[in-house]
Structure 1
Amino acid sequence: MKNIYCIGEMLIDFVAERQGSDLSKATEFTKKAGGAPANVAAAIAKLGGQSYFVGCVGDDPFGNFLMNTMEDHRVSVSFVQRSSTFTTLAFVSLAEDGERDFVFSRGADKELVFDPKLAALFPGQILHFGAATALLGGELEKAYSQYLQEAFKVKAFICFDPNFRGDLWKQREDEFVNKCLPFIGKAHLCKFSLEEAQLISGKKNIENACRELHQTGAKAICITLGKEGTLLSTSYYQKQIESIAINPVDTTGAGDAFIGCLLKQLSEVEDPETVLKDKEALSEMVRKANIAGAITATQYGAIAALPGPEQLNAY
């Protein structure tokens, strides 16, 4: 089984109580561990994979809470860095349909610096780049780009999720798109929401969006479509794969559970790149990942809601 290194932010989600409205009306919040790459690492580990989170948190009680949460879920934190800057926070409210309203207070995640000892471990392994805050400048963006170059150089398997957050890129969407393109160009696997695929490709039609993203360099694309499942697209085939019917409570972490489950399955294959050409094998992996995402959306909180093997296999 290959190691999976998940690079990006880990933060505190303060989730509004009494859901069903926007943040302006929220008065009480519950503390949850979050950050898309951290969620992916936890999803992988909870399903029995070997995951490492790579990021920076504050040397404060919130940072301690996040480290303890990762360790409790058997995610390796040996490459997590600590900073005197406070831990990054996100405030989240959920609408009646489970969709999210975000506000960020950015802190220590931007302080991550490149570690050559980590880069030396990349050959033959899998790297997942989650970009919610990683393209906003600072040391993190430098390290993030350097890790991409190192992974590409040694032909590691590269996965990219743009994790677009509108609150962080207001009136700067074009800058976000341009910063994503080098990662898409080098990625074996990209995971997008429909909004992200349309934004980055500049195409409203989903098939045209895939065509544009493949031309950028992405070998395999998964566009998650909520209750409609996932559109799987490669240069060899395109297929929409159904999900299971659920009553969504909180969609936070559903996409992270999806890609975590997919990467865990790919980590069990000797050469994950060959699976991208195998329509039946990859479709089955995506079907299973759809179930992981759906299960996660039936509970509040991302990491707490992630399924284990028993829940997944029950479907």
Structure 2
Amino acid sequence: MKKVFCIGELLIDFVAENQGKNLSVAKEFTKKAGGAPANVACAISKLEGKSVFVGCVGDDPFGDFLLNILEENKVDTSMAQKSEVFTTLAFVSIDEDGERDFVFSRGADKELKYDSSLKKDFKNNMVHFGAATAMLGGNLEEAYSRYFFDALTKDSFISFDPNYREDLWKNKEEAFIKKCMPFIQKSHLGKFSLEEARLLTGKREMDEACAFLHDTGVAIIVVTLGKEGTLLSTKHFRKTIPSIEVTPVDTTGAGDAFIGCMLKQISEHDSLETLLESEEELTQIVSKANKAGAITTTNFGAIESLPTQKQLDF
């Protein structure tokens, strides 16, 4: 089984549950661990895979809380860093349908410094790039780019999730697209929401969007469609794989559970070429990942809602 290195932010989500989607009316918040790459790392480890988190938190009680959560979930935090800058915070309001409103207060996540010693560990392993804040500047963006180059030179399996947040890129969409393109060109697996697929390709129809993304370079494309399931596309086939029916209470972390579940299953395979040619096997992988994402929406908070292998097999 390969290790999966998850690079990017780990932060505190202050969650207002069932107080309407608009943060301006929320009054009470609950502290939760968050950050897409950290969620993915926990999703993998809770499914009995091997994950390593690479990111930065503040040298403060919130940073300690976050690293403790990852360690409790059996994520390797030996490559995590601490900074004098305060831990990054996000304020999240969730309405009755599980939809979210986000505001970021950015801090220590941007302080991640590149560590050249990691390069040797990427060989024969997997690297997941899925940070919402990784292209917003700071040391993190530089480290992200250098780790990407290392993953390429060590022939790692590369996974990319752009994790587009409209509030972070308002009036800067073209810059976002430009920064994503090198990752799309070289990734083996690209995970996109419907909104992201349309934004990054300029195509409204998914057949055209997938063709564009494949021509750009990405080998396996998954476009998450919420309750409709997931569009799976390779150069050999394209199909929509249904999800299971649930009553969502919080959609936070569903996409991270999905991609984490996919990566854990792929980590057990020796050959990408063989996997790409097997429609049946890829369909099974995405079907199970759909289930992981759906289960995650049935409770509040991302990490504690991620399914275990026992729940997934039930």
TM-score by length of structure 1 reads 0.98
Q: Which amino acid aligns with 2:144?
A: Y
CA distance in 2, matches of 1:209, 1:89: 34
User: Which deviates more, 95-104 or 183-192?
Assistant: 95-104
1:200 matches 2:227? no
1:187 counterpart residue number: 187
TM-score by length of structure 2 reads 0.98
1:303 counterpart residue number: 303
Q: Structure 1 stretches of 5 or more lacking a match?
A: none
1:14 counterpart residue number: 14
1:42 counterpart residue number: 42
User: Which deviates more, 15-24 or 80-89?
Assistant: 15-24
1:147 counterpart residue number: 147
Q: Secondary structure at the match of 1:121?
A: helix
> How do 1:114-133 and structure 2 match up within 5 A?
114-133=114-133
CA distance in 1, matches of 2:236, 2:51: 30
- Maintained 8 Å contact 1:135/1:141: yes
**Following TM superposition, by how much is the alpha carbon of 1:96 offset from its aligned partner in structure 2, in angstroms?**
2.3
- Maintained 8 Å contact 1:135/1:176: yes
CA distance in 1, matches of 2:87, 2:32: 13
CA distance in 2, matches of 1:173, 1:76: 34
CA distance in 1, matches of 2:193, 2:227: 12
- Maintained 8 Å contact 2:18/2:96: no
CA distance in 1, matches of 2:211, 2:124: 29
Q: How big is the alpha-carbon RMSD for the aligned residues of Structure 1 and Structure 2?
A: 0.8
> How do 1:104-119 and structure 2 match up within 5 A?
104-119=104-119
> How do 1:47-66 and structure 2 match up within 5 A?
47-66=47-66
CA distance in 2, matches of 1:211, 1:60: 46
Q: Which amino acid aligns with 1:269?
A: H
- Maintained 8 Å contact 1:131/1:164: no
- Maintained 8 Å contact 1:157/1:273: no
2:290 counterpart residue number: 290
CA distance in 1, matches of 2:21, 2:139: 36
1:213 counterpart residue number: 213
Deviations along 1:151-186, one digit per CA (max 9) or x if unpaired, are 111211000000001111111011001100000111
User: Which deviates more, 50-59 or 9-18?
Assistant: 9-18
Deviations along 1:31-66, one digit per CA (max 9) or x if unpaired, are 000000000000000000000000000000000000
**Following TM superposition, by how much is the alpha carbon of 1:278 offset from its aligned partner in structure 2, in angstroms?**
1.2
**Following TM superposition, by how much is the alpha carbon of 1:97 offset from its aligned partner in structure 2, in angstroms?**
1.7
CA distance in 1, matches of 2:212, 2:157: 21
CA distance in 1, matches of 2:125, 2:167: 33
2:225 counterpart residue number: 225
- Maintained 8 Å contact 1:4/1:127: yes
Q: Which amino acid aligns with 2:291?
A: I
CA distance in 2, matches of 1:199, 1:21: 24
2:80 counterpart residue number: 80
CA distance in 2, matches of 1:264, 1:19: 35
Query: Percent same amino acid among aligned pairs?
Result: 62
Q: Secondary structure at the match of 1:92?
A: strand
**Following TM superposition, by how much is the alpha carbon of 1:131 offset from its aligned partner in structure 2, in angstroms?**
2.8
CA distance in 2, matches of 1:273, 1:287: 20
Deviations along 1:190-232, one digit per CA (max 9) or x if unpaired, are 0001001111111111111111111111111000001000000
Q: Secondary structure at the match of 1:4?
A: strand
1:156 counterpart residue number: 156
1:275 counterpart residue number: 275
**Following TM superposition, by how much is the alpha carbon of 1:273 offset from its aligned partner in structure 2, in angstroms?**
4.5
2:27 counterpart residue number: 27
1:5 counterpart residue number: 5
Deviations along 1:260-287, one digit per CA (max 9) or x if unpaired, are 0000001111124431221110110000
Q: Secondary structure at the match of 2:277?
A: coil
- Maintained 8 Å contact 2:21/2:100: no
- Maintained 8 Å contact 1:184/1:217: yes
2:178 counterpart residue number: 178
Q: Secondary structure at the match of 1:113?
A: coil
Q: Which amino acid aligns with 1:45?
A: S
- Maintained 8 Å contact 2:123/2:154: yes
**Following TM superposition, by how much is the alpha carbon of 1:17 offset from its aligned partner in structure 2, in angstroms?**
3.2
Q: Which amino acid aligns with 1:7?
A: I
Deviations along 1:90-116, one digit per CA (max 9) or x if unpaired, are 000112221111000000000111111
**Following TM superposition, by how much is the alpha carbon of 1:288 offset from its aligned partner in structure 2, in angstroms?**
0.3
